[in-house]
């Protein structure tokens, strides 16, 4: 009964004080009310029930006015006391409510309810946003996100340390609030909070097993929906799997969500993480025998993804690289017994995955396949059947290979400690101290070793010292042709080296033997390991094409679709056609013009008497005038495009036979590599024929051709298609584009938009984007003209 | 970037035939001279001040001259070896050009003779003989044979040789067809040491007496140097690789600093003598270089290098002559 009475009394008392505080203007009354309320702060009943209400009254508008204008020291002191001495949560909530002036619909009376906690956590984690919404540019530095979350991290750390102390002292502690807060902060995208926490936790858990328990408990209590962001943030900030293992313990075994994130989502669905994260995650899985079961499971699923041929075709290269990394790391972490256990899976993965990668047109993917093939077969250690590929090594390859040497235990990086830092320096100086011993295969008298050097004589430049050749290069085209067919290695080499320049110099002879020469060059093989063989041969082929355009181009285009050529030869033909077209379309440079053996045909107008006379006088003046201070700048002369009249010869024959598969060459089937190159070449030819009269016909034909192959499964082909589309839009005159293509354009536009959005290859997407932009620009330009006229 | 190789100081043209052998004489009074022997039997005496041929000696019945040397420390006493199997002694004093004496050696090979003036007035001459493997050492004035050196084992034809005065008496180093080098004690007439540095015939060799080191070259890319140690045995030393194979002659400069080789690849190569460090490749000739020679100028800054080539020219170079 007594308690009820006191409760009633308290209620009355508080109510009257609050009324005074909210309504009264008298200073003495206010002071009195505040003092007595402050006196009640020790009262548990008051703080539990009435405190929040009292605070709300105190943050009301007239109070802030009063404090700002009156400068009443005593009043201000008491007012502050009310906030600072009471329990923290209601103060924070009230103040934040006041700031955001959006009241939470929370039942204040039940301060321990889940809803209330939720709101509180929300407010804490969003404090920087709330304050800066109000204060805008005037936000204090401590409340800016970066600084605030660092502070928050420090407080959390302090709390955890205190928890440890409390546990040691035998108290019971619950970490669920901290866990929820951490989850909330992370899910809001502030995973950077671990940048401060992770290193500290890592070093604390190293020495303190209790701290390990505490952090593991902390992570276990994180709400399920926040688990992913917490784990990602944590693993990203930790260095090395042992640290991850100390902090997480067996979280991956106990928590389904964590297991999903760690063994599936991070490895197979995401691909933006650095390989350090992969090392941490997989190393973490490998460090404990129970977790190794999961590692095997991971290997199975990674293998499945890696050898999936549709994944090779439909995922982007970056993701494939990421999965490859994961695969190699997992394999590296397996023990020999486990490898034997999983042998079947690994062999299947290797065979399937490597095969579908080698089929790919993209070099990076092929290389990935080769590296993995080599690494896996090495790990499987089948004697005599280890795979070996030839490829040029690059940084990516080396990185992938280095993953195979990864060991989880040595993955730990040393703490950035002063004593640790000293270690390598000492070692380095020791290495330097070891005298470098010069290797001398022959006995040399040591006594005169100081005198025994030629260092006082500085050598001259000896770069001109080349291997001497015995035979002379051929001087005639026919000799050169014979040389190319000869069995004499040196003669062959010399002939190939001079072929291009000979062909260009002797135009008439070249025209006599051009097709024969083409045949020889096309079938030429690098029998003698000639340096720069490919480029020399290509140069000669281009020289032939540009000196005798029609017959040679006819020859190339017929041979392209004929029987019994290797892919390489067909690709060579395409390359040569593209290069020749490019050379023809460029204006002849003055130097070449001077060297041109064909005498210039004088246009008939120049025989006109007057011009002739003028011409001669002008020439005479030119030759007698010495111009000082004027360089050899010559006015740019217009020259006819040599490619325009023959563009059709290059272009149309290539479109003729594509759908007639031969026994050895199936353009629309397995030879999609050639198809991709063909599309590229067609696009190039289209581009080079810009402004030529035949361009619009070419464009139309090309778009028709493209239509048949635009949904090809191979990325290279799709890239070629999009490149060709771009070149059509660029090369065709915009008027023709509309009138000739009309309907097709709209359809193409829809298709392009679709590709730009959903293609798996980033190059395809960007190319589609490009062509969309081009198309829109031309369309806009075309559609505007009539408007302007009216 | 290292400096570009130097150009020749000057070119001596007009020998009218491939230049086979060169010999400098820069001592005494009078202009420095360069003797050259051509493939058509002419010996040119070039005045290096005027850079003109002072005298042309027709000799050896228009057979190729393969070796020239002066003796008696005089510019006018010349000895020449020709492919007509003869050695000729010339008196060139006061504008004369007379053959004072000659010796029929009977040697048909290309091996050059070697002259050793042990004391003034008495000289030893080592020359190849009719017997392809044999070296005959004769007293120059009287042509009396001092000894005849023949290896016991079959080493093939004698290819090149060099005789010098050691502490214990004259020694001769001879290179043979199978690539072996034999060091002979001339007075004892027995071989001191044997070495086979290279499998190919020894095309040329030279020995630097002060440093007790020699070098041999062949038709291959490798030059191999060797030392003559205290027990007068030959030891392998450094070797160096060239870009193109084949050396016709090589000479070590008297101060033992550099070595020059006459290459079949038209180039003259210069190496440091101590470690055989490649120093320069001198490109001028358009045909194989047959002979190189260093001048014996008293003043080291005037020292010259001359090279005679199959392209009928003699190039004269000044290289590493400073200080």
A452 vs B contacts (CB less than 8 Å): 274-275
| pLDDT at position B293 | 95
Tens digit of each residue's pLDDT (9 = 90 or more) over B35-64: 999 999 999 999 999 999 999 999 889 999
Whether pLDDT at A16 is above 50: yes
| pLDDT at position A633 | 58
Whether A447 and chain B come into contact, CB under 8 Å, resolves to no
- For chain A, the straight-line distance linking the first and the last C-alpha, in angstroms and rounded, comes to 96
More confident position, B310 or A468: B310
Arithmetic mean of pLDDT, A737-766: 84
Whether pLDDT at A602 is above 70: no
Q: Give pairs for B166-169: CB < 8 Å, separation 24+.
A: B166/B209, B166/B232, B168/B232
Contact B281 A462 (CB under 8 A): yes
Considering chain B, what is the average pLDDT of its residues?
A: 91
Residue B250 is inside which H or E element, if any? Answer: strand B247-252
pTM over 0.90: no
Question: d(Cα A230, Cα A188) in Å, to the nearest integer?
Answer: 10
Whether A635 and chain B come into contact, CB under 8 Å, resolves to no
Q: Which of A1-15, A442-456, A495-509, B15-29 has the lowest mean pLDDT?
A: A442-456
Whether A452 and chain B come into contact, CB under 8 Å, resolves to yes
Count other C-beta atoms under 10 Å from residue A561's C-beta. 18
Whether pLDDT at A478 is above 80: yes
Beta carbons of B122 and B141 less than 8 angstroms apart: yes
Contact B1 A452 (CB under 8 A): no
How far A529 CA lies from chain B's nearest CA (Å)?
A: 20
Whether pLDDT at A733 is above 90: no
Considering chain A, what is the average pLDDT of its residues?
A: 80
Contact B237 A458 (CB under 8 A): no
A438 vs B contacts (CB less than 8 Å): none
Arithmetic mean of pLDDT, B180-187: 91
| pLDDT at position A695 | 87
How far B237 CA lies from chain A's nearest CA (Å)?
A: 6
String of DSSP letters for A332-345: HHS-HHHHHHTHHH
Contact B238 A442 (CB under 8 A): yes
Whether pLDDT at B277 is above 70: yes
Arithmetic mean of pLDDT, A387-406: 85
**Closest residue to A457, CB basis, from B244, B266, B272:** B272
Structure tokens at A645: 């009249």
| pLDDT at position A556 | 92
Contact A461 B1 (CB under 8 A): yes
Contact B3 A465 (CB under 8 A): no
Q: What letters, b where the CB count within 10 A reaches 16 and e where it falls short, cover A290-319?
A: ebbebbeebbeebbbbbbbeebbbebbbeb
Q: In what order do the strands lie in the sheet with B33-38?
A: B19-25, B33-38, B42-47, B52-58
Tens digit of each residue's pLDDT (9 = 90 or more) over A500-528: 999 999 899 898 999 999 999 999 988 88
Closest-CA residue in chain B for A469? B265
Arithmetic mean of pLDDT, A356-378: 86
Beta carbons of B280 and B261 less than 8 angstroms apart: no
Handedness of CA A673, A679, A680, A682 (dihedral sign): positive
* Band (A275; pLDDT cuts 50, 70, 90): confident
More confident position, A552 or A624: A552
Arithmetic mean of pLDDT, A700-725: 86
For chain A, percent of residues with pLDDT exceeding 70: 84
Query: Residue A376: which residues within 8 A CB-CB, separation 6 or more?
Result: A331, A346, A349, A350, A387
* Band (A470; pLDDT cuts 50, 70, 90): low
Closest-CA residue in chain A for B278? A459
| pLDDT at position A673 | 84
Strands (E), B59-168: 65-70, 77-82, 86-91, 98-104, 114-119, 122-128, 135-139, 145-149, 158-166
Whether pLDDT at A598 is above 50: no
Q: Residue B55's closest CA among B86, B83, B30?
A: B30
More confident position, A21 or A530: A530
Whether pLDDT at A604 is above 50: no
Q: Residue A300's closest CA among A344, A258, A251, A366?
A: A344
As a whole number of Å, the CA-based R_g of chain B is 18
| pLDDT at position A448 | 46
| pLDDT at position A666 | 78
Q: Which of A451-455, A561-565, A691-695, A707-711 has the lowest mean pLDDT?
A: A451-455
* Band (A99; pLDDT cuts 50, 70, 90): low
B283 vs A contacts (CB less than 8 Å): 464
Contact B280 A459 (CB under 8 A): yes
Whether pLDDT at A670 is above 70: yes
For chain A, percent of residues with pLDDT exceeding 90: 11
Whether pLDDT at A2 is above 80: no
| pLDDT at position A606 | 44
Beta carbons of B122 and B140 less than 8 angstroms apart: yes
Tens digit of each residue's pLDDT (9 = 90 or more) over A533-591: 999 999 999 999 999 999 999 999 999 888 888 888 999 999 999 999 999 988 876 54
Assigned CATH class of A580-585+642-789? mainly alpha
| pLDDT at position A589 | 62
Say what the ipTM of the complex is: 0.82
| pLDDT at position A410 | 53
How far A447 CA lies from chain B's nearest CA (Å)?
A: 13
Q: Which of A337-351, A411-425, B166-180 has the lowest mean pLDDT?
A: A411-425
| pLDDT at position B187 | 87
More confident position, B299 or B120: B299
Beta carbons of B107 and B67 less than 8 angstroms apart: no
**Sequence spans of domains, chain A:** 20-105, 274-407, 580-585+642-789
Tens digit of each residue's pLDDT (9 = 90 or more) over B208-260: 998 899 999 999 999 999 998 878 889 998 899 999 899 999 999 998 899 99
**Closest residue to A464, CB basis, from B258, B276, B283:** B283
| pLDDT at position A629 | 61
CA angle A736, A738, A741 (to 5 degrees): 90
Question: d(Cα B167, Cα A4) in Å, to the nearest integer?
Answer: 133
Question: d(Cα A703, Cα A744) in Å, to the nearest integer?
Answer: 9
Whether pLDDT at A610 is above 70: no
Contact B3 A460 (CB under 8 A): yes
Arithmetic mean of pLDDT, B7-18: 93
| pLDDT at position A572 | 92
Whether A470 and chain B come into contact, CB under 8 Å, resolves to no
Q: Which of A37-51, B122-136, B298-312 has the lowest mean pLDDT?
A: A37-51
| pLDDT at position B281 | 93
Count other C-beta atoms under 10 Å from residue A340's C-beta. 13
| pLDDT at position B182 | 93
CA angle A226, A228, A229 (to 5 degrees): 70
Half-sphere exposure of B302 (CA within 13 A, CB side): 12
Report, at the CATH architecture level, how domain B1-104+285-323 is classified: 7 Propeller (2.130)
The rounded Cα B211 to chain-centroid distance in angstroms is 18
Tens digit of each residue's pLDDT (9 = 90 or more) over A280-302: 999 999 888 888 889 999 999 99
Query: Residue A188: which residues within 8 A CB-CB, separation 6 or more?
Result: A125, A126
Q: What CATH number was assigned to the domain covering residues B112-241? A: 2.130.10.10
Torsion of CA A762, A766, A772, A776, to 10 degrees: 150
Whether pLDDT at A415 is above 50: no
Structure tokens at A406: 């990864």
Query: Residue A255: which residues within 8 A CB-CB, separation 6 or more?
Result: A220, A227
Question: d(Cα A102, Cα A267) in Å, to the nearest integer?
Answer: 42
Whether pLDDT at A28 is above 50: yes
| pLDDT at position A743 | 78
| pLDDT at position A414 | 46
| pLDDT at position A441 | 39
| pLDDT at position A430 | 39
Question: d(Cα B131, Cα A631) in Å, to the nearest integer?
Answer: 74
Whether pLDDT at A103 is above 50: no
Whether A632 and chain B come into contact, CB under 8 Å, resolves to no
Half-sphere exposure of B234 (CA within 13 A, CB side): 27
- For chain B, the straight-line distance linking the first and the last C-alpha, in angstroms and rounded, comes to 24
Q: Which of A461-470, A486-495, B67-76, B79-88 has the lowest mean pLDDT?
A: A461-470
What is the DSSP code (8-state) at residue A435? P
Arithmetic mean of pLDDT, A156-179: 88
* Band (A124; pLDDT cuts 50, 70, 90): confident
């Amino acid at each position: 009964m007594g308690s009820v009475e006191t409760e009633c009394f308290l209620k009355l008392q508080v109510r009257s004080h609050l009324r005074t505080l909210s309504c009264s203007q008298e200073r003495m009354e206010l002071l009195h009310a505040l003092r007595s309320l402050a006196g009640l702060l020790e009262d548990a009943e008051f703080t539990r029930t009435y405190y929040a209400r009292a605070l709300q009254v105190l943050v009301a508008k007239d109070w802030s006015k009063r404090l700002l204008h009156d400068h009443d020291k005593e009043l201000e002191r008491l007012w502050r006391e009310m906030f600072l001495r009471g329990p923290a949560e209601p103060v924070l909530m009230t103040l934040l409510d006041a700031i955001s002036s959006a009241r939470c619909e929370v039942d204040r009376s039940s301060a321990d309810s889940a809803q209330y906690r939720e709101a509180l956590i929300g407010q804490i984690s969003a404090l920087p946003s709330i304050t800066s919404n109000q204060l805008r540019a005037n936000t204090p530095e401590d409340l800016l996100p970066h600084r605030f979350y660092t502070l928050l991290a420090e407080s959390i750390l302090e709390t955890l340390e205190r928890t440890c102390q409390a546990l040691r002292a035998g108290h019971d502690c619950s970490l669920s609030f901290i866990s929820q807060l951490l989850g909330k902060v992370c899910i809001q995208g502030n995973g950077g909070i671990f940048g401060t926490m992770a290193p500290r936790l890592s070093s604390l858990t190293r020495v303190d097993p209790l701290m390990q328990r505490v952090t593991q408990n902390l992570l276990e209590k994180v709400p399920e929906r926040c688990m992913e962001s917490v784990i990602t943030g944590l693993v990203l900030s930790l260095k090395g799997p042992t640290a991850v293992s100390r902090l997480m313990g067996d979280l991956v075994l106990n928590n389904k969500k964590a297991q999903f994130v760690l063994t599936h989502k991070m490895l197979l669905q995401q691909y933006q993480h650095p390989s350090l994260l992969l090392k941490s995650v997989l190393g973490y899985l490998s460090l404990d025998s129970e977790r190794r079961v999961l590692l095997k499971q991971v290997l199975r699923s990674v293998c499945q993804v890696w050898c999936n041929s549709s994944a090779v075709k439909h995922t982007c290269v970056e993701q494939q690289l990421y999965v490859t990394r994961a695969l190699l790391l997992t394999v590296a972490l397996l023990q020999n017994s486990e490898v034997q256990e999983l042998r079947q899976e690994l062999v299947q993965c290797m065979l399937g995955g490597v095969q579908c990668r080698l089929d790919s047109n993209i070099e990076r993917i092929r290389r990935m396949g080769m590296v993995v093939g080599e690494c896996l077969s090495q790990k499987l250690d089948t004697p005599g059947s280890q795979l070996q590929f030839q490829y040029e090594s690059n940084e990516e390859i080396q990185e992938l290979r280095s993953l195979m040497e990864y060991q989880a235990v040595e993955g730990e990086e040393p703490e950035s400690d002063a004593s640790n830092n000293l270690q390598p320096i000492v070692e380095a100086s020791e290495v330097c101290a070891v005298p470098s011993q010069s290797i001398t295969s022959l006995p040399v008298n040591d006594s005169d070793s100081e005198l025994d050097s030629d260092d006082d004589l500085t050598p001259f430049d000896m770069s001109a010292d080349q291997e001497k050749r015995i035979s002379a290069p051929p001087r005639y085209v026919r000799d050169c042709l014979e040389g190319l067919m000869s069995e004499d290695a040196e003669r062959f080499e010399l002939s190939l080296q001079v072929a291009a320049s000979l062909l260009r110099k002797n135009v008439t002879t070249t025209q006599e033997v051009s097709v024969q020469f083409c045949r020889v060059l096309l079938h030429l093989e690098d029998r003698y390991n000639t340096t720069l063989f490919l480029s020399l041969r290509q140069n000669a082929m281009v020289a032939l094409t540009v000196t005798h355009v029609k017959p040679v181009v006819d020859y190339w285009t017929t041979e392209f679709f004929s029987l019994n050529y290797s892919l390489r030869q067909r690709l060579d033909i395409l390359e040569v056609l593209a290069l020749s077209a490019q050379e023809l379309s460029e204006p002849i440079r003055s130097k070449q013009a001077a060297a041109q053996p064909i005498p210039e045909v004088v246009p008939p107008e120049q025989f006109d008497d007057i011009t002739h006379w003028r011409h001669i006088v002008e020439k005479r003046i030119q030759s007698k005038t010495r111009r000082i201070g004027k360089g050899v700048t010559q006015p740019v002369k217009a020259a006819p495009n040599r490619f325009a009249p023959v563009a059709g010869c290059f272009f149309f024959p290539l479109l003729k036979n594509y759908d007639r598969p031969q026994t050895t060459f199936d353009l629309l089937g397995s030879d999609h590599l050639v198809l991709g190159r063909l599309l590229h070449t067609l696009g190039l030819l289209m581009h080079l024929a810009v402004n030529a009269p035949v361009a619009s016909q070419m464009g139309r034909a090309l778009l028709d051709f493209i239509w048949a192959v635009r949904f090809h499964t191979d990325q290279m082909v799709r890239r070629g298609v999009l490149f060709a589309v771009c070149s059509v839009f660029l090369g065709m005159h915009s008027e023709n584009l509309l009138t000739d293509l009309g309907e097709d354009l709209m359809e193409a536009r829809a298709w392009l938009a679709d590709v730009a959005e959903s293609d798996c290859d980033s190059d395809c997407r960007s190319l589609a984007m490009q062509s969309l932009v081009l198309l829109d620009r031309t369309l806009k330009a075309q559609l505007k003209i009539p408007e302007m006229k009216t | 970037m290292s400096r570009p190789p130097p150009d020749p100081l000057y070119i001596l043209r007009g020998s009218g035939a491939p230049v086979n052998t060169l010999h400098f004489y820069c001592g005494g009074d009078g202009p420095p001279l360069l003797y050259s022997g051509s493939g058509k039997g002419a010996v040119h005496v070039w005045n290096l001040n005027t850079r003109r041929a002072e005298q042309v000696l027709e000799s050896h019945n228009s057979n190729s001259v393969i070796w020239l040397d002066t003796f008696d420390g005089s510019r006018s006493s010349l000895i020449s070896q020709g492919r007509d199997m003869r050695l000729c002694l010339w008196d060139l004093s006061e504008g004369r050009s007379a053959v004072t004496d000659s010796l029929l050696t009977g040697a048909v090979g290309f091996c050059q003779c070697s002259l050793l003036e042990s004391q003034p007035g008495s000289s030893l001459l080592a020359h190849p003989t009719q017997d392809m493997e044999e070296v005959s050492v004769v007293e120059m004035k009287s042509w009396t044979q001092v000894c005849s050196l023949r290896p016991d084992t079959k080493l093939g034809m004698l290819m090149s040789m060099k005789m010098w005065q050691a502490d214990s008496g004259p020694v001769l180093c001879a290179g043979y067809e199978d690539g072996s080098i034999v060091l002979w004690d001339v007075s004892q007439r027995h071989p001191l040491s044997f070495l086979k540095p290279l499998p190919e015939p020894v095309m040329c060799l030279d020995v630097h007496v002060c440093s007790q080191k020699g070098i041999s070259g062949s038709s291959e890319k490798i030059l191999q140097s060797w030392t003559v140690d205290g027990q007068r045995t030959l030891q392998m030393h450094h070797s160096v690789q060239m870009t193109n194979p084949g050396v016709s002659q090589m000479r070590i400069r008297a101060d033992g600093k550099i070595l020059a080789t006459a290459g079949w690849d038209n180039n003259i190569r210069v190496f440091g003598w101590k470690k055989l460090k490649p120093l320069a490749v001198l490109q001028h000739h358009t045909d194989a270089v047959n002979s190189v020679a260093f001048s014996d100028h008293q003043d080291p800054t005037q020292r010259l290098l001359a090279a005679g080539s199959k392209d009928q020219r003699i190039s004269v170079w000044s290289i590493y002559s400073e200080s």
